């Protein structure tokens, strides 16, 4: 999985930094990717303890599927990516 830089992990009062995005973009830039996600993945993102970028989730899940020789990205890959991102971000709070 791609590593998140300090700038992407920071929690600040700037509204544009509230979304956890690998590129550091504002949330409105990539929110359209949310509509393309399977409903189970949208629900999982909605219940995440972090506001994780849907585009980053998709890119990382696609990368994971490709690394495992899969042509399609399953819901399980999305869930694995979301969990990995949450765990990494949890470690930042320590």
Q: How far apart are CA 78 and CA 75, in angstroms?
A: 5
pLDDT tens sequence for the chain (94 residues): 555 555 444 444 454 445 666 666 666 666 778 889 999 999 999 999 888 888 889 999 999 999 999 999 999 999 999 999 898 888 865 5
Angle at 10 between CA 5 and CA 14, to 5 degrees: 125
Q: What is the pTM of this model?
A: 0.73
**What was the pLDDT predicted at 53?**
85
Distances (CA, A) of 58 to 15, 78, 80: 22, 7, 11
**Partners of 87 in beta bridges:** none
Measured in whole angstroms, the distance separating CA 31 from the mean position of its chain's CA atoms is 12
**What was the pLDDT predicted at 77?**
96
């Amino acid at each position: 999985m791609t590593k998140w830089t300090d700038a992407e992990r920071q929690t600040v009062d700037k509204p544009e930094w509230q979304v956890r995005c690998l590129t550091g973009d504002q949330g409105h830039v990539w929110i359209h990717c949310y509509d393309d996600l399977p409903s189970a993945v949208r629900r999982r993102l909605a219940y995440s303890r972090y506001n994780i970028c849907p585009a980053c989730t998709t890119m990382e899940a696609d990368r994971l599927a490709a690394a495992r020789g899969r042509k399609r990205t399953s819901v399980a890959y999305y869930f694995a990516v979301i969990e990995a991102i949450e765990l990494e971000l949890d470690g930042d709070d320590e």
